[in-house]
Amino acid sequence: MTDLFSSFNYGVIIILMMLGLYVVFAARNLIKRLVGLSVFQTSVFLFYISLGKVSGGQPPILVDSRGLEKTDHAASPIVQVAASDDIAAIHSLHHVEAVLYSNPLPHVLILTAIVVGVATLAIGLALTVRIREVYGSIEEDVIDRLDYQYNLEGAGE
């Protein structure tokens, strides 16, 4: 049961991913298929963000420890450590307060992937607009029927 809750984010990701894929393949409306594609891609963004989260980790923002000492908020200087460092050793050697930080790299990667997703969606919507102008419909059944007739009549002039 604890396993289920500790990795429930992955459960959510899998559900979103399957929902998205299902919509892409089952829907017959061009806009709905794009919505499915977006949901599918968003689940991957969540996957990457989950991946970078270190349990108990703080946001990876550099804290100026001297500034904290002046306001007497912290007794000992704060040092940020990555999850891969040996935290106990840092504690005992330097008399500092060690704070874990989450891995920022996947988050940066996913910024790129979000931009890619936006571009894909924009092109997809632009294509849908053009299809609507040419065929007068965004239902695949209608478009298929029109294309079938077009094939029978011959593509050339």
Partner 1 sequence: MDILSLLPPWLLTHGVALLVVLPLLAGAAMAVIPRERIAWTITFMVMLICMLCALTLALQVIDQGRLSYKMGGWEPPYGIEYVVDALSAPVLLLISAMAVICLFYASPSVKAEVEPKKRAAFYGAFLICAAGLLGMVVTGDAFNVFVFLEVSSISTYVLVAMGHSRDRRALRAAYDYLILGSIGATFFVIGIGFLYMETGTLNMADMSNILDGLDGGSRVAQVGFAFIVIGLGLKLAMFPLHMWLPGAYAHAPSFVTIFLASTATKAALYLLLRFAFTIFDLSFDYVVTILSQFVLVLAVVGMVFASIQAIFQTDVRRVLAFSSIAQVGYILLGLSFLTLSGLTASYVHLINHAFIKGGLFLAVGAMWYRFGITRVADFRGLSKTMPWTMSAFTISGLSLIGVPLTAGFVSKLQLATAAWERGYGWAVGVILFSSILALVYIGRILRVAYFETPPQINGVEVLKNEAPLIMLIPMWILAILSIVIGINAGWVVDAAGRAAELLIPTQMIGRGL
List of residues contacting partner 1 (CB under 8 A): 21, 24, 30, 33-34, 37, 40-41, 44, 47-48, 51, 84, 106, 109, 112-113, 116, 119-120, 123-124, 127-128, 130-131, 134-135, 143, 147, 150, 154-157
Residue 37 C-beta: closest distance to partner 1, Å? 6
Q: Which two tokens stand for residue 121?
A: 């969606």
Residues 95-101: contacts with CB under 8 Å, at least 24 apart: 96/65, 99/58, 99/63, 100/54, 100/56, 100/57, 100/58, 101/54, 101/57, 101/58, 101/59, 101/60
CA distance 99 to 85: 11
> Least Å distance between CB 147 and partner 1?
6
Write down the least CB distance from residue 41 to partner 1, Å: 6
**Choice between 95 and 130, CB closer to partner 1:** 130
**Please, what is the minimum distance in Å from the beta carbon of residue 6 to partner 1?**
16
Nearer to partner 1, 48 or 101 (CB): 48
Q: Which DSSP category does 72 fall into?
A: T
